[in-house]
């Protein structure tokens, strides 16, 4: 479905956005091992006259963009991982925990909130056999390469087929990015805790992906239920719309009514890992009174969500009683909802957090389903003023302690980070996280690099996200233009996702990620050769690129014209550049032999004369066709 | 005038956008010297109940946002610098060069292009007396502090009155930013060539501003004439609209017909320095045939524009004959229009560039009017692939050579920079520029940090702009969402300006610019205290901030409500944070005495117990009002 003016597009019969992303095809690439595993990617065909090969790009959109797929949200997605999970022989079927009214935030037994239960919801779900550990980390540490790891390796190798054409380049700040990703490399990274593959055994619909400093930088989009969710498809489409534009994972931050049923609909239809903050639902179950929270209610909520298939849980176990008062002298106190809930509980009971004290018991639950930890930064700064303060770092070091405790049980962990941080304080966050948390993947919100631009915080934070991604952050949690002001609509979500996708890619380029530049080069070459359609199709948002172009030059002919609206048909620097190239080509020597650039500034007149004479000679050979057209494209 | 839905707003009688920026007042602050000079600023009053002082912000918008000003674009702006210029006694009146038809790109004598001449255009213009040099640099080097320097000092000291409240912080990469800016400091920076004050003696309407690494980071917006300019006010309003949102200078990149007359209208009504690329108009005069350009035509164009009052000229004198072939092996060749014009001329004549060979003669003209150089980077990279190549740096070192030649005649210089550069190659650009060009101010376009997001290049470049601004770039040339695709409309211009304004501010924060954080802190405090109106008014774009807020909570009451749409009335982490603060305040010891954060990770159980007991005691004293409300605002 085209996305131009998405607000006004009519819903498809199945109620979610489907159809190929403009100018590309879904493909499924077999892994090298011959295991029969096929990895979903997107391929962009370029103008046949260009002689350029198709460009393969990473694809998070799942079957929704596959022209050959049939989408039925009442049935959910195919369970591509079902056999992989069962064939490991370490899971058992158990009867799913009975859904209670309070799971949907209702006092009575009715489900009058407008959200029907997912049809044929599983009565039987999976759990590790007694004593077993089904986490990817556990397999990795025992030397087992899982199909999930194999899938990830092929997926991450994107573009590396052309690696020989590239000289590796970049500053990775100590990362260890290989030329080629092997399944063994993935296993080793997961075993060391430097990467996670969120893959709950009850979410077999998910396409495996890795979050780690030595892989492509990932992004997360947040969604939440509407106050009155009368249309289930609309709730599911928030997820579908996010992954269409590039969200690698989606967090369901729903609160209030119907969150259990809404979550079931989302997970059954999601090809990407789903994250949640279980304390939100637990709080609903005690009527919103933080001090009434108990370990039993919380643990029951973890099992409820683990059985549905949530892939990672944000757990704010680092908000310890002694740290709470450190927030007192802050400009903006505690800005994390989960953090403030736990702070309130700790003060109410003058007790240490039960999340901290029961951490090993939580880990026991996580490993029975392979739910990954996303250790929450409940004390992250909410303003430039509060950045990098002692409350923030006290919590970070506790998260490091908890990381090691989770790893002791082979449970996967990533660490959440800020927030609001001025540029000169960003690197310290990355360095302290790597040191405190043993290189566990860092997952940051922005950070926002200034507080003065509400309405543009996708940009104030995109600046910080690109930098911290370059420094080593593995996943960037998006921020929309509505941050601090209101609830994002469909267009805000798209702008947030695309902004973070470009920030993540800028980070991959700067880290020297192999072949990350393939797409930049393909687009630049298309730009230079006036292949407008290829330019649009290679961009992160082909619909908007074409829409902007057509606002100035609507005619179809303009898409093949050898000029653009900035300079018009008369002037074009691309044209003279091509002439310069022909000029150089006609010589029997490479252009740089005219003169070495390093020598340029040292030129003395006589040498200049010599250079000119040489040029003059060469000119006479090349003739006058060199001298047609002129002009330029960008500013001056 | 409100800006919501600017596209649809009806034009005011005088045809340009006027009226205060929402929530602020224009003020005029007297300088400390008692000279009577008064500096225009904007003051934002905060909620009287907050007890917060008004916040003064840098203001580029001129009289257009002054409720007490009468705007008449037929008369032009008041000439605030007229007496300053004349009182120096080194200028003479000369008859303005006769306007020729080709000045307006017309073959015939008529001015049928739809742009009338500016009413009462000056017959007499100013020029330095024979042998005199009227450049700010010349005065500075003779130890003279001009009123322009005094104005700049006061303007830059913004917020420093509250400096005592701030601990200076930041990484400035070798900049020398003083706690307070004195007129003497400004003089010294201009004398050393580290800052420029673009101030053509024929543009007395301009409010003095400085471009330099030790001052606030500035931004430039580009405007150009419409193909058919039937409405002069619309052309002038492009400039007025740009400065309303924060453009510190505006470049008129018009080509084709009527550019002389359009330029006169813009300069007579502009309170900010105006820059141009004279080669564009010179090319028009020779019918667009680059090889027909001559020194005589170019020099005549410089005088034509200098007499009108253009404050800085982009001169592509660094595109030397020997460098042209270096562009041959590039992905995207030469992307600078001026650069390609000169490349074409050089090859056509097999001669060194006349701009390079006649550079000292150009400088003679510049110093007679105090036009500053903006030495153009005609060989800047147009793609990630071409970043930091030998063509680019060969030109940069030549610009360094030319800088010293201009300084030899006391003429002000800044240096233009790229372009398209991945993050890990940005710093090298800054370091080489500082070294090659003796710390002359750097003026960069972006740079764009990836090529894969056309439609979002204000963001791909905003990321690079914030970084290079942090590293030391003095002025950032904006990029709009339409870059590479089409011509920006009114909304694109605003988005581009605000994006660059926030990038420049993020750079000021990271450089540790004194009191740059005053505005961030004021906004964060307003956010924490739910002063919604103050939040909107303190933001870079109050109209959009309020518009976004109202999309979710339109009611006027919501602007005073102690909650926001993200969490609703029930949950609010700000609330519990305030409770935590009260809790700490009730104690006779500061919060951090509970426990030192640095000690946190080393806690042993017994100490934890002790800490808890202490908390417990304190709690009993403070009572239960601590335990109301909970929740949070941002993601998780």
Phi-psi region of A145 (alpha: psi -120 to 50; beta: other; left: phi over 0): beta
- B521-578 confidence digits (pLDDT tens): 999 999 998 899 999 999 999 999 999 998 877 777 667 665 555 555 445 666 666 6
pLDDT band at A557 (very low <50, low <70, confident <90, very high): low
CB-CB under 8 Å, A459 with B288 = no
- A300-323 confidence digits (pLDDT tens): 999 999 999 999 999 999 999 999
Query: Could you tell me the residue ranges of all domains in chain A?
Result: 124-517, 575-630
pLDDT band at A620 (very low <50, low <70, confident <90, very high): very low
pLDDT (average), residues A472-489: 94
| Residue appearing with tokens 């979903």 | A40
* B249 close to B501: Cβ distance less than 8 angstroms: no
Minimal C-alpha gap between B338 and chain A (Å)? 6
CB-CB under 8 Å, B632 with A337 = yes
The answer to whether the annotation marks A213 as part of a ligand binding site is no
- A344-392 confidence digits (pLDDT tens): 999 889 899 999 999 999 999 999 999 999 999 999 999 999 999 999 9
What gap in Å lies between CA A489 and CA A469, rounded to an integer?
Answer: 26
- A4-60 confidence digits (pLDDT tens): 333 334 444 578 999 999 999 999 999 988 899 999 999 999 999 999 999 999 999
Diameter of chain A by CA atoms? Answer: 95
Average pLDDT, chain A: 87
Six-digit token string for A542: 């082909």
Rg of chain B taking only CA atoms, in angstroms: 27
pLDDT of residue B204: 98
CB-CB under 8 Å, A596 with B484 = no
Q: Does residue B227 surpass a pLDDT of 80?
A: no
CB-CB under 8 Å, A616 with B565 = no
CA-CA-CA-CA torsion sign (B553, B557, B558, B563)? negative
- B108-126 confidence digits (pLDDT tens): 555 556 688 899 899 999 9
pLDDT of residue B328: 82
pLDDT band at B162 (very low <50, low <70, confident <90, very high): confident
Which parts of B are annotated binding residues for [4Fe-4S] cluster? 564, 567, 572
pLDDT (average), residues A215-219: 98
pLDDT of residue A592: 39
- Among A243-247, B29-33, B349-353, B497-501, the minimum mean pLDDT is found in B29-33
Cross-chain CB nearest to B452 (options A519, A544, A594): A519
B454 vs A159, higher pLDDT: B454
What gap in Å lies between CA B531 and CA B558, rounded to an integer?
Answer: 10
CB-CB under 8 Å, B627 with A347 = yes
Average pLDDT, chain B: 87
Cross-chain CB nearest to B636 (options A376, A398, A600): A376
CB-CB under 8 Å, A339 with B592 = no
pLDDT of residue A406: 98
pLDDT (average), residues A113-130: 90
pLDDT (average), residues A442-469: 98
CA-CA-CA-CA torsion sign (A106, A108, A111, A117)? positive
- Count A/B contacts: CB-CB distance under 8 Å: 555
What gap in Å lies between CA B570 and CA B562, rounded to an integer?
Answer: 10
Six-digit token string for B450: 């990836």
Q: Does residue A607 surpass a pLDDT of 60?
A: no
Q: Does residue B62 surpass a pLDDT of 60?
A: yes
Minimal C-alpha gap between B170 and chain A (Å)? 6
A575 vs B60, higher pLDDT: B60
pLDDT of residue A258: 87
CB-CB under 8 Å, A291 with B325 = no
- Among A96-100, A242-246, B157-161, the minimum mean pLDDT is found in B157-161
Q: Which residues of B touch A344 (CB under 8 A)?
A: 576, 627, 630
Q: Does residue B435 surpass a pLDDT of 90?
A: yes
pLDDT band at B159 (very low <50, low <70, confident <90, very high): confident
Q: Does residue A594 surpass a pLDDT of 60?
A: no
Q: Does residue A2 surpass a pLDDT of 70?
A: no
Q: What would be the CATH architecture of the domain defined by A124-517? A: Alpha-Beta Barrel (3.20)
Q: Does residue A612 surpass a pLDDT of 60?
A: no
Q: Does residue A161 surpass a pLDDT of 90?
A: no
pLDDT of residue B579: 67
CB-CB under 8 Å, B570 with A288 = yes
* B471 close to B435: Cβ distance less than 8 angstroms: no
What gap in Å lies between CA B611 and CA A528, rounded to an integer?
Answer: 66
* A516 close to A259: Cβ distance less than 8 angstroms: no
Minimal C-alpha gap between B91 and chain A (Å)? 31
Q: What percent of chain A has pLDDT over 90?
A: 72
pLDDT (average), residues A223-237: 79
What gap in Å lies between CA B445 and CA B460, rounded to an integer?
Answer: 12
Cross-chain CB nearest to A337 (options B517, B536, B573): B573
Q: Is A470 exposed, middle or buried (0-12, 13-18, 19+ CB in 10 A)?
A: buried
- Helices vs strands, H then E, count in chain B: 21, 15
CB-CB under 8 Å, A328 with B524 = no
Q: Does residue A589 surpass a pLDDT of 50?
A: no
Q: If you write DSSP's letter for every residue of B369-416 in order, what string do you get?
A: HTPEEEE--TT--SSGGGTT-HHHHHHHHHHHHHHHHHHTTT--EEEE
Six-digit token string for B610: 């002790």
pLDDT band at A165 (very low <50, low <70, confident <90, very high): confident
Q: ipTM of the predicted structure?
A: 0.90
* Contacts for A127 with CB less than 8 Å, ≥ 6 apart: A91, A92, A94, A201, A307, A368, A369
Minimal C-alpha gap between B446 and chain A (Å)? 11
Six-digit token string for B345: 């001329």
Other Cβ atoms closer than 10 A to A31: 18
pLDDT of residue A145: 98
pLDDT band at B592 (very low <50, low <70, confident <90, very high): very low
Q: Does residue A630 surpass a pLDDT of 50?
A: no
pTM of the model: 0.90
Six-digit token string for A43: 């391929």
Q: Which residues of A touch B385 (CB under 8 A)?
A: 517, 520-521, 524
pLDDT band at A615 (very low <50, low <70, confident <90, very high): very low
CA-CA-CA-CA torsion sign (A229, A232, A233, A239)? positive
Q: What percent of chain B has pLDDT over 90?
A: 72
């Amino acid at each position: 479905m085209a996305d131009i003016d998405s607000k006004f597009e009519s819903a498809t019969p199945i109620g979610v956005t489907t159809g190929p992303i403009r100018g590309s095809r879904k493909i499924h690439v077999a892994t090298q091992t011959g295991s029969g595993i096929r990895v979903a990617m997107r391929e962009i065909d370029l103008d046949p006259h260009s002689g350029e090969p198709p460009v393969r790009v990473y694809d998070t959109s799942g079957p929704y963009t596959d022209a050959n797929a049939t989408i039925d949200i009442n049935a959910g997605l195919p369970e591509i991982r079902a056999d992989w999970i069962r064939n490991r022989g370490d899971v058992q079927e158990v009867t799913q925990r009975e859904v209670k009214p309070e799971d949907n935030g209702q006092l009575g037994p009715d489900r009058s909130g407008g959200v029907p239960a997912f049809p044929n919801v599983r009565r039987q779900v999976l759990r590790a056999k007694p004593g077993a550990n089904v986490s990817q980390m556990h397999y990795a540490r025992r030397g087992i390469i899982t199909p999930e790891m194999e899938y990830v390796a092929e997926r991450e190798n994107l573009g590396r087929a052309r690696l020989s054409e590239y000289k590796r380049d970049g500053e990775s700040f100590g990362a260890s990015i290989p030329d080629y990703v092997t399944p063994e490399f993935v296993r080793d990274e997961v075993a060391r805790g430097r990467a996670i593959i969120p893959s709950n055994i009850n979410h077999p619909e998910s396409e495996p992906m890795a979050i780690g400093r030595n892989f492509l930088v990932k992004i997360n989009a947040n969604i939440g239920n509407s106050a009155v969710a009368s249309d289930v498809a609309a709730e599911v489409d928030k997820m579908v719309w996010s992954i269409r534009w590039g969200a690698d994972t989606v967090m369901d931050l729903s609160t209030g009514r119907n969150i259990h049923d809404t979550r079931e609909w989302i997970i059954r239809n999601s090809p990407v890992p789903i994250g949640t903050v279980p304390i939100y639902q637990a709080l609903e179950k005690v009527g919103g009174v933080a001090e009434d929270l108990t370990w039993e209610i919380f643990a029951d909520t973890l099992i409820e969500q683990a059985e549905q298939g949530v892939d990672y849980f944000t757990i704010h176990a680092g908000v310890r009683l002694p740290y709470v008062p450190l927030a007192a002298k802050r400009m903006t106190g505690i800005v994390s909802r989960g953090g403030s809930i736990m702070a309130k509980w700790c003060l109410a009971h003058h007790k240490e957090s039960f999340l901290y004290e029961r951490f090993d018991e939580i880990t026991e639950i996580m490993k029975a389903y392979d739910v990954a930890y996303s250790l929450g930064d409940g004390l992250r700064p909410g303003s430039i003023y509060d950045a990098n303060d002692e409350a923030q770092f006290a919590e970070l070091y506790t998260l490091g302690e908890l990381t090691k405790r989770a790893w002791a049980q082979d449970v996967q962990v990533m660490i959440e980070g800020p927030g609001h941080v001025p540029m000169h304080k960003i690197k310290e966050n990355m360095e302290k996280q790597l040191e405190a948390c043993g290189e566990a993947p860092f997952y940051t919100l922005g950070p926002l690099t200034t507080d003065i631009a509400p309405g543009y915080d996708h940009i104030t934070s995109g600046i910080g996200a690109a930098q911290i991604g370059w420094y080593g952050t593995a996943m960037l949690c998006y921020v929309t233009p509505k941050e601090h002001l209101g609830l994002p609509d469909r267009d805000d979500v798209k702008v947030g996702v695309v902004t973070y996708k470009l920030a993540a890619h800028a980070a991959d380029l700067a880290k020297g990620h192999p072949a990350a530049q393939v797409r930049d080069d393909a687009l630049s070459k298309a730009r230079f050769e006036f292949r407008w359609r290829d330019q649009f199709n290679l961009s992160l948002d082909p619909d908007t690129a074409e829409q902007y172009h057509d606002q100035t030059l609507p005619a179809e002919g303009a898409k093949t014209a050898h000029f653009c609206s900035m300079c018009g048909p008369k002037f074009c620097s691309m044209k003279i550049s091509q002439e310069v190239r022909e000029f150089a080509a006609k010589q029997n020597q490479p252009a740089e032999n005219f003169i070495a650039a390093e020598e340029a500034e040292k030129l003395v007149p006589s040498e200049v004369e010599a250079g000119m004479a040489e040029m003059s000679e060469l000119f006479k050979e090349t003739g006058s066709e060199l001298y047609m057209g002129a002009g330029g494209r960008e500013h001056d």
